[in-house]
Amino acid sequence: MENMVNVYFFGKKYSVPGDLTIMTAMEYAGYTLTRGCGCRHGFCGACATIYRIKGKNELKTCLACQTQVQEGMYVASIPFFPTDKRTYEIEGLKADQRVMMELYPEIYACIGCNACSKACTQSLNVMQYIAYAQRGELEKCAEESFDCVGCGCCSVRCPAGISHPMVGLLARRLTGKYIAPKSQHLEKRVAEIKEGAYDGLIEAIMQKPITEMEELYNHRDIEK
Amino acid sequence: MFTESMLESIRKVEATRAQRMGMEPRRMSAQEKDELLKAYHPDYRPDGFKEIKIGPNKGQKAPCELTDLLHSNSRLLQEHIDLNKVDYDVDVLVIGGGGAGASAAIEANQAGANVMIVTKLRIGDANTMMAEGGIQAADKENDSPVQHYLDAFGGGHFAARPELLRRLVMEAPDAIRWLNELGVMFDKDADGTMITTHGGGTSRKRMHACKDYSGAEIMRTLRDEVINRKIPVVEFTSAVELIKDDRGQVAGAVLLNMETGDYLVARAKTVIIATGGAGRLHYQHFPTSNHYGATADGLILGYRAGAPLLYQDTIQYHPTGVAYPSQIFGALVTEKVRSLGAMLVNRDGEAFMHPLETRDVSAASIIRECSTRGEGVETPLGTGVWLDTPMIELLHGEGTIEKRIPAMLRMYLNYDIDMRKQPILVYPTLHYQNGGLEIGGDGFTKAIPNLLVAGEAVGGIHGRNRLMGNSLLDIIVFGRNAGKAAAARAADVNLGKMNLDHIYSYAEELKQADAVHEGVSPLLLPNYARHERKEK
């Protein structure tokens, strides 16, 4: 038999192959997952999990799909966490410091404990991006929070009740929409298409027989 | 951590790297590609397919696992659903909470319709979230929608429906503009020029990206917008059957609360199927890059109600799935890794193909390398070839990998593999359903009035193979279109008496054809718990 390890799902002991992830180990143990399972590849944040290794006091957070089981792991998944997202109309907002003060004033209650960064399953510097948000440095907040998958482990640990992923998300939307420079070539092409500049050309290519299309395709020039 | 035999092969890859850096491997001729596909692409393996015995596509082939589900009965056959007890009553019912469903809901809401999303997991639990590489749009000076059309049409083996492909390429720049206006952070230069790269089979650099979180960045923005607009989202609730009325129009869906097991009735003037793909059916036992809920539910619902499928026999295997380590087996290694210059290299350090052939050709080529040519690297779960990632840092400078493909770097570092210094092992993974339900240029199915389909559940947009970056594009373009079209249509719809007659007549047809498969469909969730697994 392969190398087996003992893990505890919600306190109950199971013996599972040691090369599995927490997620596949739960399935090996017999769980049919509905909550706590999404993309299974580390992008969606559905499988936020807390664990502690038997005999150690440190409480750790992770994504169940991206973390290998270990001997003596006590595991509890977080099927849902009530993050506090404020609703707003993106069209009416201004990308400045005030927007954070109005929508997420609790960020100013941060006590600097850094528990959020320690809990981050993506190893992001969460406290730093909250600091950027406090100062109205939205672009920096957006960059620093960019890889956030919204699992919510930071918010679970925050003594100030901050919903960090929502703060990062707001900063990114404001950056994408208002702060990043406009793409002139994009605006131009959208206008050209709207004016019908390509209508005739697209009609023409749609009507071409397959043999001619094969010829065109196989001999098209490819940008270096 | 690589094994000793892998490390030995890595030394051969390193030995040829300098010489490979200076050359571009030859692209295959049309005839070479054709022969390669026929000999090695999984779509050409007869034992992977079975004949569909009833319904609009009777006599055609589909992957065995899909055919089995099409031949299974409705779970409602033995239930008594009271259709007079309506739990939700809306203009537009969107089934599926991925990129297509969210786009549709936003546009329907914008048009003033009463729209609701129902999704079996959470909104955003979808393949959209996992799309890494980018989204195509012909918005640069040297490019045009016509060039985009040619690339996609040829890459899809000249099988795309022209009226669908036209919409895809012509509405692409506006899709990017729409996303940007919603706040999606595209990679741009200081002057606002979009940073665009090649994908396999593109003739112009038109791949727009948000690092390698392109789909995630798009999905989390769309989800945020859906919530801001207070569009109702009923999560952990599956649509298990469409409801029709006595005039044959679609009239809503029967829903299943995934947690309590309760059935609910949603009445709707228009229905949009945006249920995504089928990777979790594991065709031909391939691993998959898809999310947990990708079980082809919408195809089953639509087909049982009488909507035909198109190209249901063509599947996309992404050439570069993770072959090692086993914990992330089958996960996607974005095509952007090759766009940035990493070569595909066999165990002897030879670059056996041009890294930017189309996905079907690349997948077939890797399968050939690992099978008849015996040039694959052995892994605990099979074989793989090298994707020479350190080349990226040599070509574009140190730090490029961290900046442009941070998700890939993080995924491998979790398992002590530093892709900046060592190449990674890849093998094709089940990635995308090229086929799906057939729609017209307006987004509606032709067979069932007021039923629309958007996103991966559609067949015919891409033909028999899809180019990188055209799927994120199609969910936005066809999702937006479906939302607008459904909202407009809903104003004119009068519903008659609702019924589920079609599930009984389908059951009767299955019985007559002696084709009944055990179990019920749609599948909803894969059978991964150990006691549910069929031994393979």
What is the domain partition of chain A in residue ranges? 4-77, 90-179
Q: Are residues B363 and B237 both part of a single domain? A: no
Neighbours of B101 (CB within 10 A): 34
Q: Are residues B272 and B160 both part of a single domain? A: yes
Neighbours of B18 (CB within 10 A): 9
Q: What is the DSSP letter of A5?
A: E
Q: Contact at 8 Å (CB) between A56 and A74?
A: no
Is B441 within the bounds of a domain?
yes
Block residue for tokens 């859906």: B226
List the single residue in B with minimal CA-CA distance to A203.
B166
Which residues of A are less than 8 Å from B408 in CB distance? none
Max Cα separation, chain A? 73
Q: Contact at 8 Å (CB) between B127 and B121?
A: no
The rounded distance, in Å, linking the Cα atoms of B371 and B40 is: 9
Q: What residue spans of B75-144 are helical by DSSP H?
A: 99-110, 127-130
A44/chain B closest Cα distance in angstroms: 6
Residues of B recognised as catalytic: 318, 338
Main-chain dihedrals φ then ψ at residue B267, nearest 5 degrees: -95, 135
Q: Are residues B423 and B491 both part of a single domain? A: no
Is B50 within the bounds of a domain?
no
| Residue A87 CB-density burial (10 A; 0-12 exposed, 13-18 middle, 19+ buried) | exposed
Q: Are residues B163 and B97 both part of a single domain? A: yes
- The SS3 assignment for B491 reads coil
Of A149, A181, A214, the CB nearest to B191: A181
The angle subtended at Cα B79 by Cα A35 and Cα B277, nearest 5°, is 45
Nearest one of A143, A190, A15 to B402, comparing CA atoms: A143
A160/chain B closest Cα distance in angstroms: 23
Residues A85-107 pLDDT 10s? 999 999 989 999 899 999 999 99
Record the tokens describing residue B149, joined without a space: 């059309």
The rounded distance, in Å, linking the Cα atoms of B470 and A116 is: 37
Of B170, B193, B525, the CB nearest to A185: B193
* Interchain CB contact of B260 with A (< 8 Å): no
The rounded distance, in Å, linking the Cα atoms of A118 and A159 is: 13
Residue A1 has pLDDT above 70, yes or no: no
Q: What is the DSSP letter of B334?
A: -
Q: Are residues B202 and B231 both part of a single domain? A: yes
* Interchain CB contact of B193 with A (< 8 Å): yes
Q: Are residues B168 and B307 both part of a single domain? A: yes
* Interchain CB contact of A190 with B (< 8 Å): yes
Q: Are residues B349 and B452 both part of a single domain? A: no
Nearest one of B209, B222, B224, B220 to B406, comparing CA atoms: B209
Q: Would you call B170 and A198 a contact, using CB atoms and an 8 Å cutoff?
A: yes
List the single residue in B with minimal CA-CA distance to A139.
B185
Which residues of B are less than 8 Å from A173 in CB distance? 182-183, 221, 224
Residues of chain B with confidence (pLDDT) below 50: 536
Max Cα separation, chain B? 73
The rounded distance, in Å, linking the Cα atoms of B370 and B374 is: 5
A139 pLDDT band, cuts 50/70/90, is very high
Q: Are residues B98 and B219 both part of a single domain? A: yes
Q: What is the DSSP letter of A216?
A: H
* Interchain CB contact of B371 with A (< 8 Å): no
Average model confidence (pLDDT) for chain B? 96
Q: How many CA atoms lie within 13 A of A181 on its CB side?
A: 11
Give the CATH number of domain A4-77.
Answer: 3.10.20.740
CATH number at residue B389: 3.90.700.10
Residues A172-211 pLDDT 10s? 999 999 999 999 999 999 999 999 999 999 999 999 999 9
Of A38, A172, A181, the CB nearest to B183: A172
The rounded distance, in Å, linking the Cα atoms of A12 and B84 is: 45
Q: What pLDDT score does B536 carry?
A: 41
Q: Would you call A32 and B525 a contact, using CB atoms and an 8 Å cutoff?
A: yes
Q: Are residues B367 and B410 both part of a single domain? A: yes
The rounded distance, in Å, linking the Cα atoms of B302 and B454 is: 12
Is B533 within the bounds of a domain?
no
Residues B230-265 pLDDT 10s? 999 999 999 999 999 999 999 999 999 999 999 999
Q: Which residue in B132, B185, B219 has the most chain A C-beta atoms within 10 A of its own C-beta, making it the best mutation to test that interface?
A: B185
Q: What pLDDT score does B535 carry?
A: 52
Q: Would you call A214 and B158 a contact, using CB atoms and an 8 Å cutoff?
A: yes
Q: Contact at 8 Å (CB) between A149 and A45?
A: yes
Which superfamily does A90-179 belong to?
Answer: Alpha-helical ferredoxin (1.10.1060.10)
Q: What pLDDT score does B133 carry?
A: 87
- Structural domain span for residue B345: 4-40+316-430
* Interchain CB contact of A208 with B (< 8 Å): no
Record the tokens describing residue B137, joined without a space: 């749009």
Domain boundary (B388, B413, B430) is at B430
Is B529 within the bounds of a domain?
no
**A81 CB contacts (<8 Å, ≥6 apart)?**
A48, A152, A155, A156
Q: Are residues B396 and B476 both part of a single domain? A: no
Q: Are residues B342 and B308 both part of a single domain? A: no
Q: Would you call A172 and B185 a contact, using CB atoms and an 8 Å cutoff?
A: yes
The rounded distance, in Å, linking the Cα atoms of B500 and B479 is: 27
Domain count, chain B: 2
Record the tokens describing residue A184, joined without a space: 């002139």
Q: Are residues B110 and B146 both part of a single domain? A: yes
Nearest one of B512, B451, B507, B497 to B75, comparing CA atoms: B507
Question: For the packed helices A199-207 and B145-155, what is the interaxial angle rounded to 10 degrees?
Answer: 20
* Interchain CB contact of B357 with A (< 8 Å): no
B23/chain A closest Cα distance in angstroms: 13
The dihedral over CA atoms of A19, A23, A25, A26, expressed in degrees to the nearest 10, equals 170
